Each structure stands twice: as C-alpha cells, then as structure tokens.
Amino acid sequence: MAVAKQFLKSKPVCKVTFELPADAVNGAKTVALAGEFNNWDATAQVLKKQKDGSYKTTVELPVGNEYQYRYILDGATWVNDSAADKYVASGVSDAQNSVVVL
C-alpha cells in the first residue's frame, strides 16, 4: 500500500494519492476510500483499478492537518493502509483507523 503526497506551491493543499496494491485487495470488485475528508462516506471516493490490479485515487486536502481514513472492499470489509503515517483508535470496537499527516 502506498500514500504519495504532492504539496502544491500555489495554494495550501496537498494532492494525496492513495493506492491499494492488488495483493491487498483480496479479489474485491470495488475499493472505496472513506475518511474524515468525505464524512466517512463509503461511496464518495471510489478507487480506479489499474492495469497491475492495484486500485488508486487522488484527493486534494488542506495542509497542516491529520486525516483518518480506511479502505472499504466490496462495500463491506474495512481495511487499514499499511503505509499510513500512523494509526489511532477508531472508537468502534477495538479497530484502528489509518492516518495521513499533512
């Protein structure tokens, strides 16, 4: 899994590319990104399948913040990003959320 950050010089935002590799998808047909930046909406940010079987999307986020997020496979299975900057308790059972720090 990978999180790539591209800080823009023209405005205080960062283009963050979230990628889930093919081996982490576990055969899922759809992969979505839910987090604080889209009100945890599991349908707001669907990742696009790449030729190598991985899934990828890019989101512009304001710098100077931390954002919690998780991936959702086939609308049902929530998974963390092994490349996250850190992890925090989600407040739901004993699960944790991935965090990207900008």
pLDDT of residue 1: 55
Contact criterion met (CB below 8 Å) for 71 and 81: yes
Which residues form the domain of 29? 2-101
CA distance 70 to 40: 9
Mean pLDDT score, 82-86:
93
Q: How confident is the model at residue 95 (pLDDT cuts 50, 70, 90)?
A: confident
pLDDT tens digits, residue range 4-36? 999 999 999 999 999 999 999 988 999 999 999
Q: Which DSSP state fits 36?
A: G
Contact criterion met (CB below 8 Å) for 8 and 14: yes
Give the residue among 80, 48, 63 at the shortest CA–CA distance from 16.
Answer: 63
- Here the CATH number for the domain that contains residue 86 is 2.60.40.10
Number of domains in the chain: 1
